[in-house]
Amino acid sequence: MKDDFETLKLDHHDKHVIVVTLNRPHVANAINSKMMDELAALWTTLVNDVSELRCVVLTGAGKRAFSAGADLKEREGISVEEWRHQHAILERAVLAMQEFSVPIIAAVNGAAYGGGCELALLADFVYAARSARFALPEVTRGIIPGGSGTQNLPRVAGIARAKEIILTGRPFDVEEALSWGVVNRMCEDAQLLDDALATADQIAANAPIAVQQARLAMEATRMDNFRNAYIAEIKAYDVTVETADRTEGIQAFNEKRATRFKGH
């Protein structure tokens, strides 16, 4: 199994469970092009190890964040073509993770914003630290969620709640996430990884073929529709990429000032 990643750290809890850590703590585990590429490679590589692998725990390095989302410093000033090329890498990662056959538990240890929140939503379910916070703030930066957030948030939180979250871009805390169905369990910060691994161990102790088939049966309807729905999300996302508001949103973020959107 490939494990020589720059932005990801793999730890073998035992023969059947691994911990995958988003490993850019100096920038709140922001998702840059390299991490997108390595996430796509990770899920594709792990497919070859499903005979031994029975559960994955996905978390973030450090105490500050699970992931703050896309690395907007990397994105400032890039052309529309460069932006689309970068996003195509993310799309491969999203589809590879969504189609991965082994259960994934997201252990959200801090802020999960933007693409970080979308990564957590791509997992089978989420455990979160008491200090965790969530947001899909893309509309405040002139774009929309493009990592399947418009598809997966309504699935767990309901369409009306998802619209409120996505259309306002407003952050929400772990208690709200728990009550809305975004999070399965709230854990004490120091206990989060242990709690996630305890559940991973329970899953791994069960018959692996039965677990995979049960998961496949539960996912059947969504998996049939996911690709088409995600294509619709990307088409909507691409409209925003060509706008001046998208450029303004990134500049305002990096210049630490209020946005001045003009609707074009």
Domain assignment present for 194: no
pTM tops 0.85, yes or no: yes
- Tens of pLDDT, residue by residue over 128-154, are 999 999 999 999 999 999 999 999 999
- Tens of pLDDT, residue by residue over 75-100, are 888 888 888 888 899 999 999 999 89
Return the structure tokens found at 45: 């590589």
Distances in Å between the alpha carbon of 64 and those of 36, 110, 113, 189, 224?
20, 5, 12, 11, 36
Domain assignment present for 198: no
Domain assignment present for 203: no
Tell me what pLDDT residue 226 has. 85
Among 21, 20, 5, 90, residue whose Cα is nearest residue 55: 20
CATH of the domain at 136: 3.90.226.10
Domain assignment present for 258: yes
18 is in which domain, residue-wise?
A: 1-189+208-264
What's the number of domains the chain is made of?
Answer: 1
User: Which positions are annotated as active-site residues?
Assistant: 118, 138
